[in-house]
Amino acid sequence: MRQTNSPNRTPWQKVFRKFGLSQSELARELGCHRSKISRAVSDDKGLIHGRDQEMILKAAEKAGVRLLASDMVSGV
């Protein structure tokens, strides 16, 4: 995985970090395959599309993870 300590993290990197889970664990929480998480977190843009946003918000609410709107978009 790429460096996630830089202030210029992608949306997927921000979300991944906030959940504090492994890629496999996050994939289980979201109901998708680990490879999807791996590709999303390592992508240069790491944009989160609508359906994925819905899955993330639902999983965050269930897990008690506080996500901000700025976590889900790039350039913020």
- What pLDDT does 76 receive? 61
pLDDT along the chain (76 residues), means of 10: 60 96 96 96 94 95 93 83
- What pLDDT does 75 receive? 75
The model's pTM: 0.83
- What pLDDT does 19 receive? 97
DSSP string, 24-47: HHHHHHHTS-HHHHHHHHHSSS--
- What pLDDT does 7 receive? 62
**What's the number of domains the chain is made of?**
1
Domain membership flag for residue 47: yes
Domain membership flag for residue 5: no
Domain membership flag for residue 21: yes
The crossing angle, in degrees rounded to 10, of helices 23-30 and 50-63 is: 100
